[in-house]
Structures are given as structure tokens and as C-alpha cells.
């Protein structure tokens, strides 16, 4: 089936999709979505109130079009100031779209190079500081609530650095993006930030690319925001009630995702052409945080290498997005999956600016899928759990001068391992990694979470570990750097189906960086976040193990890879 630039080969899934599309038409689902009918998702007044205040993204493009002259004027201002770099300080919905823009469009000639900082790892913070000319950098402080701990920590750190050089003129190097009435808005005005962009309050974080949170960073780095916004508008036009549901690409995509889940294909596996590969991070966040709750949901799998059909379990729905040339191996594997009657959706972007339409399409699809699955896509009930545990650990540090001790269940030369209490009960006295892997069952996914710096060599080792897991087990795999994933897939891990098997990696960083106004630095904050995540997963009875790596991390990961090889033979 084909809509716009989207084609599908759904095999056995097609019949149920056709039935669901007819049901959507009978229920006037698209019309009710556009009229902000909260009962599409939940009927109780409390949920309805939250939902109705999160649907501004549906027509925010109309508002954005009116902001284009001001955005272009600000872009000229940035050019005139001759900033060498721009650093986006944010987390989750505030950081992932700018990361997509940075990797897809940057760097742009005569514009500042955009760097995204969304890691509390002290080595990462210090690395960003080394990359920039401090007094020739524009800092974009991006947080909807104006209170996000990580974002404010980044902001305080760099503001003090600039202030030490520029005194009362430091604000000229800072821009704020936030909602109306937040503490950040007040402080930014008080400190005379270069600009304060006040966003509409009725747009949730992961949908906020369709607002200032996406467009201001794009504008700063030199993206043609008018073209990008026009493409968003074109997709909105395809998504109105005047378009039949079957021809509405976002509606169709949402129906396919929901029906796939109902047939046990809840692992939506995303393949991306290299040119737009970072876009998978944004889709991953959107689906995991929106639809991973109430013990159900869609599990987005991004970053795996395409394999033959026999290398997968029957829990997959495949989506392939490409733009420009694609390597022949990927094309061959996609065709093999289609020939083997695996459900595949293919989306062909004319150029990178078509990402504008994709942002809107996937948002619309998520809303539709949530309605069909009985999930409210516009809240994030389990994200707070890891934050609460993190805060309790930081309080213990403040009150007692140290973190609590955690048990050491097994140990190597360059690492030691800790199981959650729930996991320990499941494996009794067999407290080793082989026993842990034996807990994995059909329908599960194995997730690797690394509270480590975003270094290419470290990432390569995790890619290799993930591939080994996939080759040996045929289970779906995920990987994410913490604390970034806490604001994206973290909701799914704790609130979605109990099919998450989590391996966390932490380390004692050699470096540290003080956070102004806090009794702890980035090293302590990152450690508390990793252990807070561990405790939150354990409290939800998730199967979790933490591998704490000694320095140097590269040596420890080599040993862990050998450990994985040994345990696979004993477990699978």
C-alpha cells in the first residue's frame, strides 16, 4: 500500500489493519483527535485535563509560520555576533531534535557549530568545554519546566565560567527556551539573556520539536527553518479529517503500529540510512516515552544491523527510512524480510528537510496508536521514579558524606557486578551473569544502559556487545547512554511490559566538575542517576544487573566482552 512517500508490505498484518482503519472511520477518530477529544485515550476527568493541555502540537505549525520573520531576524543576529559555537543545554525532548539537526545539517558555513550537551558525565561536560571558545559561544538553555536538574546544572556551570570573564555581560551569551512563568524565564530576564523564547504551554516535551524547542536551535546553526516549517505544514495538510484514513500516512502508520502490538509484534525495529541516522533517536524517545506505560506499549529498537528473517523472533515490525543513496547490503536485507512475509514499512525522504514532515507524521501516528491501545501518550508517569531515587541518594551524600554501599555479587579484575533484589530472588544462589541471562524468555528485549562518556571508542564496544547479544540470542536489543535515556526509553523500561532485561554500566570517573550552588559535582550526580535508575528498575521488579567498571574503562569493557562470550555458552 502507498501513501505519499510511504509504502508498506504488511503480509498477514494487512487484514487486521484494514479492519482497524474501517473502525477508525466509524468512530470518527481523526475528527475527534482534531477536536481535542480526550476520551480517545482516557475517560476520567484527571487524565482528560492533562491530555487537553498537551495537544497544541497538532496545529503549532500555524503559529510557527507566524514566527518565521522573527526567527530569521534572530538568525541574522547570530551571524552578526560571529559565534564560533552554540551549545544546547537540555535533556530528552529539548535535546534530541537539536541532536538530529546537528548531525543531519551541520556544520553550516558561517554559522556556529551546534553541540548538544545532554550528559552529566563529568568527562563529557569537560570535553564540551574543551571543544569551544568559551567567550565566543552561544549557550541555549532549553527546558519546558524551567526546573530540569541536569539542564540547570549545565547552565549554572557554564554561566559561572562566562561570568568570571564578562561579569554582568554574561547574559549576552545565553538564550532561554522555556514555558511561560517558569523560574528560568524569570531568571533569564533578570540576567538579561540575549533572548528568551517563551513557548506555548500546551505542547509536551517529546512533541516540542514542532515549536521553539526544535526551531530555535535549528535556526541558530543555520538550518533553513522556513523550508523546514513548510514541510511540517505539508504533512499537517495530509493529516486533516478531509483526508481519508487510509491515505493519511500518519494515521495509517499509527494503525499498523497498534495492530502489530496486538499480534505480538511489539518490537518496532527502525532502520535508517546513514544521512539521517540520528533521527532514530528521536523516534525511539517519542514511542518509548509516549506508549510504554500501564504494563504495555511499543518497544522501539534502533541501532541494530539489518539481518535475515531467520535471525529474528516473530515479535518484529520493521520500518526503513532512507534519504539519498543507501548501501546495497541494507537494501538486500530489507527485500529479504519482505520476501519472507515480514511486515515492513518503507519511507523515502526526498531530502533532509523532509524530516519536518516526519516529525509531524510520527507524532500523529503516536496519538492514533495510543488511542487504539488504550494508552495516554501525553504523560510520563514513571519518569519521576528514577528522579526520586536519585534525589534520595544525593540527600544521603549530603547528610552522611558518602553514598550507601551496594552489594558485590560477582567480580572480575576490572569490574564487579550487582543484582537487584528482585533479580537475586529469581536466581537464588547462582549469582553470576550466566544465571542472569537464563532469566531471558521469548518476547523479552535486552537493554544496555551506559552511564559513561559519549566517546566513539566506548560506543563501538557497546555496538559490538549488542551485536553479540543479538547474534547469540535472537532477542531484540537496545542501547543508550545515561542519563539521556532516562528521559526517553526510561519510561518504557519501568512502565511498559515486564519484558525488559536491563544491564547497567557505571564507572568511577577520574574527572569531576563542580556544579555552582550544589554540594555535589557532576561525578556524584551521574553516579546517583545511575544508581537511582538501578533502584527504580528493581522496585518495579525488572530483571536488572549493574556492572561497575574500573578505570581505564576501555580495559574493563574488553574484559566484559570476554565475560559475555563465556556466559552465552552457558545460557543459550
Is the same domain home to 467 and 550?
Answer: yes
Per the CB < 8 A criterion, the answer to whether 572 and 437 are in contact is yes
- Residue 569 confidence (pLDDT): 73
Per the CB < 8 A criterion, the answer to whether 203 and 62 are in contact is no
Give SS3 for 55: strand
Angle made by CA atoms 17, 22, 28, in degrees to the nearest 5: 125
Partners of 514 in the beta sheet? Answer: 521
Hey, what's the cell of 305?
Answer: 544491523
| Count of domains observed in the chain | 3
Is the same domain home to 244 and 140?
Answer: no
- Residue 199 confidence (pLDDT): 98
| Domain edge (last residue) among 231, 255, 274 | 231
Q: Is 46 within a domain?
A: no
Query: Which residues constitute the domain of residue 539?
Result: 383-571
Is the same domain home to 294 and 440?
Answer: no
Per the CB < 8 A criterion, the answer to whether 497 and 296 are in contact is yes
Helix locations, 402-495, DSSP H: 421-427, 433-437, 456-473, 490-495
**If we measure between CA atoms, which residue out of 248, 306, 313, 240 comes closest to residue 277?**
306
- Other beta carbons less than 10 A from residue 22's beta carbon: 12
| Domain edge (last residue) among 355, 373, 391 | 373
- Residue 327 confidence (pLDDT): 85
Q: Is 48 within a domain?
A: no
Is the same domain home to 222 and 244?
Answer: no
- Residue 1 confidence (pLDDT): 57
Per the CB < 8 A criterion, the answer to whether 316 and 337 are in contact is no
Q: How far apart are CA 197 and CA 195, in angstroms?
A: 6
Is the same domain home to 513 and 563?
Answer: yes
Is the same domain home to 470 and 427?
Answer: yes
Packed helices 522-539 and 383-400: angle between N→C axes, nearest 10 degrees: 130
Hey, what's the cell of 259?
Answer: 495492530
Q: Is 523 within a domain?
A: yes
All residues at 6 or more sequence positions from 469 whose CB lies less than 8 Å from its CB, including other chains: 446, 448, 475, 477, 564
Give SS3 for 35: coil
- Output the domain CATH number for residue 534: 3.40.50.10490
- Residue 97 confidence (pLDDT): 98
- Residue 509 confidence (pLDDT): 87
Q: How far apart are CA 414 and CA 237, in angstroms?
A: 56
- If you write DSSP's letter for every residue of 481-492 in order, what string do you get? ETTGGGGTTHHH
Q: How far apart are CA 310 and CA 322, in angstroms?
A: 24
Q: What is the pLDDT along the chain (572 residues), one digit of tens a residue?
A: 556 799 999 999 999 999 999 999 999 999 999 999 999 999 999 889 889 999 999 999 999 999 999 999 999 999 999 999 999 999 999 999 999 999 999 999 999 999 999 999 999 999 999 999 999 999 999 999 999 999 999 999 999 999 999 999 999 999 999 999 999 999 999 999 999 999 999 999 999 999 999 999 999 999 999 999 999 999 999 999 999 878 999 999 999 999 999 999 999 999 999 999 999 999 999 999 999 999 999 999 999 999 999 999 999 999 999 998 888 899 999 999 999 999 999 999 999 999 999 999 999 999 999 999 999 999 999 999 999 999 999 999 999 999 999 999 999 999 999 999 999 999 988 889 999 999 999 999 999 999 999 999 999 999 999 999 998 889 999 999 999 999 999 999 999 999 999 999 999 888 999 999 999 999 999 999 999 999 999 999 999 999 999 999 999 999 999 999 888 777 76
Is the same domain home to 267 and 409?
Answer: no
Is the same domain home to 204 and 243?
Answer: no
Per the CB < 8 A criterion, the answer to whether 264 and 443 are in contact is yes
**If we measure between CA atoms, which residue out of 96, 144, 113, 136 comes closest to residue 223?**
113
Hey, what's the cell of 24?
Answer: 477508525
| Domain edge (last residue) among 198, 231, 264 | 231
Q: Is 42 within a domain?
A: no
Is the same domain home to 261 and 158?
Answer: no
User: Do the bridges between strand 445-450 and strand 500-507 make them parallel or antiparallel, or are there none, so unpaired?
Assistant: parallel
Give SS3 for 459: helix
Q: What is the 3-state secondary structure (H, E, C) of 214-257?
A: HHHHHHHHCCCHHHHHHHHHHHHHHCCCCCCHHHCHHHHHHHHH
Per the CB < 8 A criterion, the answer to whether 552 and 545 are in contact is no
Q: Is 173 within a domain?
A: yes
Q: Where are the beta strands (DSSP E) in 383-432?
A: 410-411, 415-419
Q: Is 526 within a domain?
A: yes
Packed helices 122-131 and 522-539: angle between N→C axes, nearest 10 degrees: 140
Is the same domain home to 249 and 220?
Answer: no
Is the same domain home to 107 and 193?
Answer: yes
Is the same domain home to 499 and 436?
Answer: yes
Q: Is 45 within a domain?
A: no
Q: How far apart are CA 248 and CA 285, in angstroms?
A: 23
Give SS3 for 88: strand
Q: Is 43 within a domain?
A: no
- Residue 2 confidence (pLDDT): 56
Amino acid at each position: 500500500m502507498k501513501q505519499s512517500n510511504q509504502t508498506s508490505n504488511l503480509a498477514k498484518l494487512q487484514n487486521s489493519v484494514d479492519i482497524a482503519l474501517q473502525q477508525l472511520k466509524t468512530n470518527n477518530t481523526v475528527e475527534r483527535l482534531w477536536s481535542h477529544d480526550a476520551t480517545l485515550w482516557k475517560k476520567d476527568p484527571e487524565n482528560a485535563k492533562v491530555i487537553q493541555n498537551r495537544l497544541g502540537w497538532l496545529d503549532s505549525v500555524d503559529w510557527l509560520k507566524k514566527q518565521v520573520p522573527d526567527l530569521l531576524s534572530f538568525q541574522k543576529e547570530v551571524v552578526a555576533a560571529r559565534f564560533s559555537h552554540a551549545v544546547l543545554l537540555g535533556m530528552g525532548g529539548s535535546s534530541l531534535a537539536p541532536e538530529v539537526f546537528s548531525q543531519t545539517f551541520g556544520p553550516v558555513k558561517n554559522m556556529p557549530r551546534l553541540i548538544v550537551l545532554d550528559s552529566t558525565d563529568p568527562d563529557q561536560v569537560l570535553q564540551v568545554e574543551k571543544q569551544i571558545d568559551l567567550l565566543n559561544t552561544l549557550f541555549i538553555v532549553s527546558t519546558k519546566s524551567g526546573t530540569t536538574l541536569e539542564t540547570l546544572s549545565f547552565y549554572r556551570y557554564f554561566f559561572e565560567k562566562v561570568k568570571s570573564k564578562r561579569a554582568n555581560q554574561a547574559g549576552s551569551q545565553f538564550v532561554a527556551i522555556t514555558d511561560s512563568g517558569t523560574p528560568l524565564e524569570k531568571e533569564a530576564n533578570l540576567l538579561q539573556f540575549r533572548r528568551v523564547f517563551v513557548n506555548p504551554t500546551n505542547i509536551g516535551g517529546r512533541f516540542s520539536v514542532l515549536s521553539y524547542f526544535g526551531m530555535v536551535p535549528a535556526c541558530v546553526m543555520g538550518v533553513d527553518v522556513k523550508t523546514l516549517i513548510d514541510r511540517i505544514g505539508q504533512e499537517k495538510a495530509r493529516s486533516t479529517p478531509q483526508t481519508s484514513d487510509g491515505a493519511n500516512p500518519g494515521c495509517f502508520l499509527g494503525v499498523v503500529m497498534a495492530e502489530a502490538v496486538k499480534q505480538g509484534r511489539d518490537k518496532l525495529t527502525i532502520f535508517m540510512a546513514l544521512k539521517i541516522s540520528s533521527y532514530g533517536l528521536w523516534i525511539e524517545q517519542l514511542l518509548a516515552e509516549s506508549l510504554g506505560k500501564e504494563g504495555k506499549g511499543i518497544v522501539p529498537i534502533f541501532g541494530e544491523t539489518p539481518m535475515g528473517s531467520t535471525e529474528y523472533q516473530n515479535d518484529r515490525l520493521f520500518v526503513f527510512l532512507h534519504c539519498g543513496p543507501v548501501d546495497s547490503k541494507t537494501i538486500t536485507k530489507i527485500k529479504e524480510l519482505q520476501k519472507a512475509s515480514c511486515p515492513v514499512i518503507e519511507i523515502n525522504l526526498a531530502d533532509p528537510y523532509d524530516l519536518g514532515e516526519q516529525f509531524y507524521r510520527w507524532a500523529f501516528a503516536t496519538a492514533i496508536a495510543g488511542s487504539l491501545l488504550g494508552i495516554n501518550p501525553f504523560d510520563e508517569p514513571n519518569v519521576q521514579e528514577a528522579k526520586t531515587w536519585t534525589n534520595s541518594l544525593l540527600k544521603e551524600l549530603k547528610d552522611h558524606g558518602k553514598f550507601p554501599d551496594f552489594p558485590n555479587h560477582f567480580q572480575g579484575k576490572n569490574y564487579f557486578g550487582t543484582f537487584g533484589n528482585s533479580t537475586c530472588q529469581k536466581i537464588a544462589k547462582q549469582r553470576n551473569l550466566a544465571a542472569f541471562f537464563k532469566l531471558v524468555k521469548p518476547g523479552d528485549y535486552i537493554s544496555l544502559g551506559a552511564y559513561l562518556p559519549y566517546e566513539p571508542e566506548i560506543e563501538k564496544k557497546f555496538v559490538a556487545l549488542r551485536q553479540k547479544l543479538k547474534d547469540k540470542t535472537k532477542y531484540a536489543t537496545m542501547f543508550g547512554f545515561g542519563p539521556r535515556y532516562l528521559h526517553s526509553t526510561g519510561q518504557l523500561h519501568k512502565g511498559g511490559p515486564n519484558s525488559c532485561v536491563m544491564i547497567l554500566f557505571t564507572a568511577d570517573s577520574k574527572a569531576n566538575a563542580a556544579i555552582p550552588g550544589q554540594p555535589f559535582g557532576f561525578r556524584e550526580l551521574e553516579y546517583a542517576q545511575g544508581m537511582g535508575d538501578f533502584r527504580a528498575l528493581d522496585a518495579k521488579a525488572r530483571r536488572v544487573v549493574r556492572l561497575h567498571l574500573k578505570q581505564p574503562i576501555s580495559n574493563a569493557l574488553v574484559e566484559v566482552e570476554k565475560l559475555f562470550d563465556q556466559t552465552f555458552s552457558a545460557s543459550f
